[in-house]
Amino acid sequence: MASWRLLVVLVTVGLPLVCLARYDDSKFGIFIHWGVFSVPSYSCGGVAAEWYWNGLETGAGNGCIQEFHNKTYGPNFKYADFAKGFSAELFDAARWANLFKKSGAKYVVLTSKHHEGFTNWPSPQSWNWNSADVGPGQDNVGLVTEAVRAGGLRMGLYHSLFEWFNPLYVTDRSNNGSTTVYVDTILQPQLHDIVNRYKPEIIWADGDWEMYDTYWKSKEFLAWLYNDSPVRDTVVTNDRWGKDDSCKHGGYWTCTDRYNPGVLQEHKWENCFTIDSRTWGYARNGGIGDYQTIDQLLQELISTVACNGNFLLNVGPTSDGIITPVYEERLLQIGTWLDFNGEAIYATKPWRSQNDTASSVWYTAPKWSNSTAYAIFYAWPAESVLRLTQVVPQSPNMVAQLLGYRGNLAWKLNGNTLAIVLPEIAHLPPLLQVQTAFTIKLVGVQ
């Protein structure tokens, strides 16, 4: 592991610092899970929709996927036959990009290939199992990448290292990685291909956990990526590059899905989170209760950013290419919230204190100042007085403002409790009145 560590040190301290800073400033991105799994689009028994094929083969979820499949398509219907139904006939990349932009997200990460092995671009290593040869008959990665960039957002690609049922991989694995036929003939050519073709600003690896990074040849790939590839000056990566690497090595850390430790982490990290709590790929079944409310999503975003994380929020488009109205509404709601409160999110750094138990408050601070802090609170306090215990004014001239509202707020220090008198809700702009989280900007704090 020593040389790996050395490489990672070179990699994270060398060239990509600028890129990591830009990634850090952006704070909020959109994750997209789209593939053949979007066709059956069914989740049950804890099996996420994008794991449908796995559920079909292994009986995971107490056989509930098999049961649904047998009943709906018949036991002889092969998973591969779903690809024909990946129609994308209502897909409009510019419309997706416009929605992402309105959400306030600054980057997008799309599944170039999930564990099923189907590629969303015309991969020569995935003949007849890619979005150009079968299904939509188009380069999904290319179309989304172009539209996202035209909208002024940065583009990243998710790539699954393993493919559950690829016979080459299954054989390598049964040889405990002493053969690397799958890595040499499929994985590495594909990783190089997506970098050379689309020049992604993020490579989001996954599906790494069954084998060590030596098998995947992750070190070799990352050395090329950071030293010689066309994105060497712009790319950042995550940490899922082999068994035991996650949360220890690589670029920013993802650790687990929905990782949100709730306390400051020194190493840059990301909370990948999903709007439909059951699944990352679209699921037709279920109901509104399965989708996170805007309050829940804002609490994830805020607590994540306060503790040095980025928030990567997932949508699962349908096989015909729609981002359904529930997803759409959540993204637009976040965008409205960020219109008022974005100053307390983008380009911020963690403050000396992350939270304040007094009233569910999270703190951030702008990178440009050491004497300014933002206190973001979830619920409007009783009698419109917000009490904070972590703030120390530099002087009686400290200024307290509510983002979105003009004018300074009166405050009083009593011991270590700072009481801030909020305006009357009725005096706020109408769109601010209906928010469930608000920001106090404090200028002149110690």
Ligand X SMILES: *[C@@H]1O[C@H](CO)[C@@H](O)[C@H](O)[C@H]1NC(C)=O
Task: Name the residue nearer to ligand X (CB basis): 62 or 384.
Answer: 62
Q: Which residues are paired to 361 by β-bridges?
A: 356, 377
Six-digit token string for 227: 């030293």
| Residue 415 touches ligand X, criterion: CB under 6 A | no
| Residue 390 touches ligand X, criterion: CB under 6 A | yes
**Identified binder of ligand X from the candidate list 288, 289, 325, 368, rule CB under 6 A:** 368
Q: Which of residues 198-237 bind ligand X (CB under 6 A)?
A: 212
Considering only the stretches 67-75, 294-302, 402-410, 433-441, report the one whose residues sit in contact with ligand X under the rule CB under 6 A: 67-75
Task: Name the residue nearer to ligand X (CB basis): 131 or 439.
Answer: 439
For every residue of 397-410, DSSP letters joined together read T-EEEETTS-SB--
276, 316 contact by CB (below 8 A):
yes
Q: Which of residues 260-299 bind ligand X (CB under 6 A)?
A: 262
The torsion region of residue 45 among left (phi > 0), alpha (psi -120 to 50) and beta comes to: left
Q: Which of residues 131-190 bind ligand X (CB under 6 A)?
A: 176-177
144, 197 contact by CB (below 8 A):
no
The residue type at 158: Y
| Residue 328 touches ligand X, criterion: CB under 6 A | no
| Residue 324 touches ligand X, criterion: CB under 6 A | no
The whole-angstrom separation of Cα 50 and Cα 34 is 8
CB of 381 to ligand X, least distance (A): 15
DSSP H/E element including 337: helix 325-341
CB of 361 to ligand X, least distance (A): 8
Considering only the stretches 47-55, 221-229, 282-290, 351-359, report the one whose residues sit in contact with ligand X under the rule CB under 6 A: 351-359
Buried b (16+ CB within 10 A) or exposed e, 401-436: bbbbbeeebebeeeeeebebebeeeeebeeebeebe
| Residue 446 touches ligand X, criterion: CB under 6 A | no
Task: Name the residue nearer to ligand X (CB basis): 266 or 424.
Answer: 266
- Give the number of residues in contact with ligand X, rule: CB under 6 A: 17
Indicate the SS3 state at residue 269. Answer: strand
Binding site for ligand X (CB under 6 A): 63, 66-67, 70, 75, 176-177, 212, 262, 353, 355-357, 368-370, 390
